[in-house]
Amino acid sequence: MSSAAVNIELPQLQNPLMQYLRQDRIPHIWCPGCGIGTSLNAFIRALDEMQFDLNKLAVISGIGCTGRVAGYLNVDSFHTTHGRAIPFATGLKLGNPDLKVVVYSGDGDLFAIGGNHFIHAARRNMDLMVVCVNNFTYGMTGGQVAPTTPLGATQTTMPYGNFEPPFNLPYLADSCGAVYVARWTVYHVRQLTRAFKEGLSKKGFVFIEVLSPCPTLYSRRNRLGDGVEQLKYYKERSVVKNGADTREVGLTFQGDIVVGTFVNRERPTWLDAMNEHFSQRFGDRYQRYGVRHED
Domain range holding 123? 30-285
Per-residue tens of pLDDT for the chain, all 295 residues:
455 567 887 777 778 899 999 999 889 999 999 999 999 999 999 999 999 999 999 999 999 999 999 999 999 999 999 999 999 999 999 999 999 999 999 999 999 999 999 999 999 999 999 999 999 999 888 899 999 999 999 999 999 999 999 999 999 999 999 999 999 999 999 999 999 999 999 999 999 999 999 999 999 999 999 999 999 999 999 999 999 999 999 999 999 999 999 999 999 999 999 999 999 999 999 999 987 655 4
Instruction: Say if residues 209 and 182 touch (Cβ distance below 8 Å).
Output: yes
110, part of any domain: yes
One-letter amino acid of 15: N
281, part of any domain: yes
C-alpha to C-alpha distance for 144 and 136, rounded to whole angstroms: 9
Helices marked H in 101-225: 107-108, 115-124, 169-176, 189-201, 220-221
- The residues facing 240 across adjacent strands are 259
Domain at 278, CATH number: 3.40.50.970
C-alpha to C-alpha distance for 135 and 295, rounded to whole angstroms: 50
Number of domains in the chain: 1
Q: Which helix (H) or strand (E) holds 263?
A: strand 257-264
One-letter amino acid of 191: Q
1, part of any domain: no
34, part of any domain: yes
Crossing angle of the two packed helices 36-50 and 189-201, in degrees rounded to 10? 50
Neighbours of 73 (CB within 10 A): 23
15, part of any domain: no
Helices marked H in the chain: 36-50, 69-72, 85-95, 107-108, 115-124, 169-176, 189-201, 220-221, 227-237, 270-282
253, part of any domain: yes
